Amino acid sequence: MPTLTQLPSGKWRAQVRKLGFYKNQTFDKKRDAQDWANAIEAEFSQGVNNGYRPIPKEATVENLINKYRKEVKQDYGRTKAATLDMLVRELGAIKLARLSPLHLQDFIDRRLEQGAGGVTIAADLSFLSAILKWARHSRRLSINDRMALEARASIKHRGIKTRSKERDREPTPAELDRLYTFWRASNSSVPMEDISRFALATGMRLNEICSIAIEDIDTAIPAVWIRNRKDPKEKQGNDQQVPLLPDAWALAQKHMGSRQVGKVFDYNAGTCSTYFTRACTAVGIEDLHFHDLRHAATAALFRIGLDIPRVALMTGHKTWAMLARYTKIKPEDILEKLKEKEREKEG
């Protein structure tokens, strides 16, 4: 039963103790105290009946994030780790039981004032959503696990874009020639020309290229295992074996030499990205990123006649929707393909 106590000030303190949990609050009127106590007691009982535990009184958002980090073992990466640190700074002091949509709207306002864009804020709230879902379904806490997702959905109603603009930039042959000429003249310790050519021959991401182990190459096929390939749902253990087409295999052999172990391209991906950007600036190429080579490679795979499943194996995309933005198939490509088929029939 709830305990109601009148304080010397004349106010009423309501206390609820049930199943090891405790809450209290002070009210001006006894009736308000009684109503609150009855509601809290019903909440405790309902939580237990539904299989969920009430949130501990003193628990904060920071406590929850720290437990999540400790218990959910995964490679967070720099971006996610930095986001979790930011969530602790911005929301960590809030009592978890009192976390509400208003707190998240205030959070969005602050992030906008700090200069964060809609895409970044949407990602912040997605991380928070994952933590709230873990709290409800793993820790069995009676918490609104849709709160962050609903706050994320509210961003678009402010006229703020939450999806990044899809790039369709590809390097032209002339731009690639300028980059190759620059790297040959610079005598750099990082073979950027070969790394770029390998990217164009495989469609691999830069960090994948810099992570390829010689031990993971099957020279008989030839093919290579890409370990922990990027995936929106499951990165750890997402290993894929992909073929090395002739141009890629020639470059791999060149850099493997007689070595039996180690990385094919033993260079830091961040350093390679920086070198690529600096070279573009030096030769006057605007708005070109290393990742744009992946666009060009994927489009080239379609142009040589590979179908969706085979291109997806090369690039690691899971669905056509994910792959479609990279294709860049032009009307003339389709017409040329039809002409080729006609020539084959005539021949």
Is 81 found in the same domain as 199? Answer: no
Are 102 and 195 contained in the same domain? no
Q: Identify the CATH number of the domain in which residue 140 sits.
A: 1.10.150
The alpha carbon of 32 is separated from its chain's Cα centroid by a whole number of angstroms, namely 46
**Within-domain flag for 56:** no
Positive or negative, the Cα torsion across 80, 242, 239, 253? negative
168 occurs within a structural domain? no
Q: Are residues 144 and 184 part of one domain? A: no
Q: Are 232 and 299 in contact (CB under 8 A)?
A: no
**Separation of alpha carbons 29 and 6, rounded Å:** 10
> Closest Cα to residue 88, out of 106, 107, 75, 71?
107
> For 99-137, b where at least 16 C-beta lie within 10 A, e where not — what string?
beeeebeebbeebbeeebebebbbbbbebbbebbebbbe
Specify the pLDDT at position 346.
76
**What is the tally of structural domains in the chain?**
3
Residues 67 and 37 both lie in one domain: no
Average pLDDT of each block of 10 consecutive residues along the chain (347 residues)? 87 81 84 86 63 82 93 75 93 92 94 90 93 90 90 88 74 95 91 96 92 94 88 64 93 95 94 94 94 89 80 75 63 73 76
Does 228 fall in a domain?
Answer: yes
Sign of CA dihedral 39, 45, 46, 52: positive
Which positions ≥6 away from 215 have C-beta within 8 Å? Answer: 260, 261
Domain-embedded: residue 289: yes
- Does residue 75 sit in the same domain as residue 36? no
DSSP 225: E
- Considering the domain architecture, whether residues 114 and 39 belong to the same structural domain is answered as no
Helices (H), the chain: 30-49, 61-71, 77-91, 101-113, 118-137, 147-155, 173-186, 192-202, 206-209, 246-256, 269-282, 292-303, 308-315, 320-324, 331-346
67 and 96 in a single domain? The answer is yes
Do residues 256 and 276 both lie within one domain? yes
pLDDT value of position 165: 65
Query: What's the pLDDT score for residue 265?
Result: 96
Residue 146 in contact with residue 136, Cβ under 8 Å?
Answer: no
124 is written with which tokens?
């912040």
Residue at 38 is within a domain: yes
At 327 the pLDDT is 60
| The token pair that represents 142 in the structure block | 């009676």
Domain stop point among 158, 184, 208: 158
Tell me, yes or no, whether 164 lies in a domain.
no
Residue 263: beta bridge partners? Answer: 213
With respect to residue 241, please indicate whether it lies within any of the assigned structural domains.
yes
Q: Residues 265, 333: one domain?
A: yes
For residues 151 and 197, membership in a common domain is answered with: no
DSSP 8-state class, residue 256? H
Domain assignment of residue 167, yes or no: no
List C-alpha distances in Å: 188 to 152, 182, 194, 211, 214.
45, 10, 12, 20, 23
Domain coverage including residue 333: 173-346
Same domain? For 239 and 184 the reply is yes
Token match 């003339």: residue? 332
User: Which strands make up the sheet holding 223-226, listed edge to edge?
Assistant: 217-218, 223-226, 240-243
pLDDT value at position 169?
A: 83
What CATH number does the domain containing 204 carry?
1.10.443.10
Same domain, 329 and 186: yes
